[in-house]
Amino acid sequence: MKKTKIAISIDSGILAEIDRRVDGRIMRSRSQAMEVYLRKGLFESEVRIAVILLKGE
């Protein structure tokens, strides 16, 4: 997949947390970490099943 380079402004605390998760092995770079966490937030958080509970009289 072709990657597009972008520039963003981000809260320093969030960036520090991203940097803590980059270990050089599993999470190889800041860019990879950002992509992984954005993908999780955008696609894995969506509601797939809803349960509706109704109380009868």
Express each pLDDT in 19-33 by its tens digit: 999 999 999 999 999
Supply the pLDDT for residue 44: 79
Average pLDDT over residues 1-24: 93
pLDDT of residue 46 exceeding 80, the answer is no
Supply the pLDDT for residue 57: 79
- Count of domains in the chain? 1
Q: Where residue 51 falls among pLDDT bands split at 50, 70, 90? A: confident
Residue 3 lies in a domain: no
pLDDT of residue 53 exceeding 90, the answer is no
Which domain covers residue 18, as residue numbers? 8-57
Residue 50 lies in a domain: yes
Supply the pLDDT for residue 8: 92
* 27 and 33 Cβ atoms separated by less than 8 Å: yes
Q: How far apart are CA 38 and CA 20, in angstroms?
A: 16
